[in-house]
Amino acid sequence: MIPAVLPTYNRAKLNFVKGEGSWLIEADGRRFLDLGSGIAVNALGHAHPRLVQALTDQAGALWHVSNLYEIPQQEKLARQLTEASFADTVFFTNSGTEACELAVKMARKHFFDAGQPERVEIITFSGCFHGRSTAAIAASGAEKMVKGFGPLLPGFKHLDWGDHDALNAAIDDKTCAILIEPVQGEGGIRPVPDQCLKGLRDLCDEHGILLIFDEVQCGMGRTGKLFAHEWAGVSPDIMMVAKGIGGGFPLGAVLATENAASGMVAGTHGSTYGGNPLACAVGSAVMDHVADPAFLSEVNRKAGLLRQKLEGLVAAHPDTFEAVRGAGLMLGLKCVKPAGDIVAAGYGKEVITVPAADNVVRLLPALNITDEEIAEAINRLDAAASSLESS
């Protein structure tokens, strides 16, 4: 019999009832060190007092009004985001997938209004993940996501990640945009080299097409800059954000330049919940922390510390781990043993990690994890690896 909850996930037998900072407390009382953050969502850990305060203050005043009216919390967060980024304008969504939908619409509308309605195709790369809607799975093209769900939204060209020649050959007079994650998340924590992001920017400028960055997972301080693309010194025309921006409250956004967004006039897009006062109050509080240069410099320091300790862990367990990769506090352990087994062994040692493609275990700790918690994380991962090796 089908379970009451649609069984689209293989769930671990863990039932967390409370969260405190980098810790998750199981119903049986065990305390798990959380290096997954709900997949890069709980950017400031669990139950951060300032986020709890922002949420409860807003909850006591007003939960929801329609986008038919002014929403000052939304305007405030939009100003925070535009002041801290390349963007001139922001649309708020409830998820990364919805941000993907708007990014696609915005790029197409831009060229439609520019008198080039034939420019509808978006180039994407193997291993990418942009969400689970019919457009977002079409963007990915991955067999395991699209099989059985056709016909798919047309207009995506899938190239091999890192194949520069194929990219040069693929752009034609139907191309409207290139869509890429500056650091692939689900694909296995694969950072695009800075040189390549620069090359993509040049290529888009040369051909007069738009560059879309999906920073749903790698954005909001995760790599030690507010947005990952800042490391390369280039900016996109359109950017998708979600996950960390709400710190655990469902919130996403599309950030764009005035030029890219020019076609999105009244009536062209909407969302009932997108940018509601609760979500934006929390998002603003997240931004207050994460956009602070002092906070980001701490993220970088801790990232260096964690990475160095992970290199030691890999060296100590050559039969389990192969290498460390990633950027900032978005790190991956490329594994020799099956990544899923290592994640499961971690559960046994009360440490939470997240598997990704390419046999990688993802580490996405809260950005405010402490040095002591980093040391404890390594102890627990070490114990997990040892338990696998002796079994």
Distance CA 43, CA 116 (A): 40
Count CB-CB contacts under 10 A for residue 345: 23
Q: Does 242 bind ligand PLP (CB under 6 A)?
A: yes
Q: Judged by CB under 6 A, which stretch of 42-50, 179-187, 253-261, 295-303 contacts ligand PLP?
A: 179-187
Q: Does 97 bind ligand PLP (CB under 6 A)?
A: yes
- The residue behind tokens 């102890």 is 379
For ligand PLP, the closer of residues 182 and 317 by Cβ is: 182
Q: Does 95 bind ligand PLP (CB under 6 A)?
A: yes
For ligand PLP, the closer of residues 243 and 309 by Cβ is: 243
Start-to-end Cα distance in the chain: 35
For ligand PLP, the closer of residues 179 and 209 by Cβ is: 179
Q: Does 185 bind ligand PLP (CB under 6 A)?
A: yes
User: Using alpha carbons only, how large is the chain's radius of gyration in Å?
Assistant: 21
Q: Judged by CB under 6 A, which stretch of 126-134, 141-149, 312-320, 366-374 contacts ligand PLP?
A: 126-134
Nearest-CB residue to ligand PLP? 96
Q: Does 217 bind ligand PLP (CB under 6 A)?
A: yes
Q: Judged by CB under 6 A, which stretch of 89-97, 202-210, 227-235, 333-341 contacts ligand PLP?
A: 89-97
Residue 254 CB, shortest distance to ligand PLP, in Å, is: 12
Q: Does 96 bind ligand PLP (CB under 6 A)?
A: yes
Q: Does 216 bind ligand PLP (CB under 6 A)?
A: yes
Residue 106 has, within 13 A of its CA and on its CB side, a CA count of: 30
**Residue 253 parent element (H or E):** strand 252-256
Residue 210 CB, shortest distance to ligand PLP, in Å, is: 17
The phi and psi torsions of 122 (rounded to 5 degrees) equal -120, 130
Helix axes 277-290, 49-61, angle to 10 degrees: 150
Residue 49: cis peptide before it, omega within 30 degrees of 0: no
Q: DSSP readout, 39-84? A: HHT-TT-BS-HHHHHHHHHHHHH-S---TTS--HHHHHHHHHHHHT
Q: Does 330 bind ligand PLP (CB under 6 A)?
A: no
Binding residues for ligand PLP, per CB under 6 A?
A: 95-97, 100, 129-131, 181, 185-186, 214, 216-217, 242-243
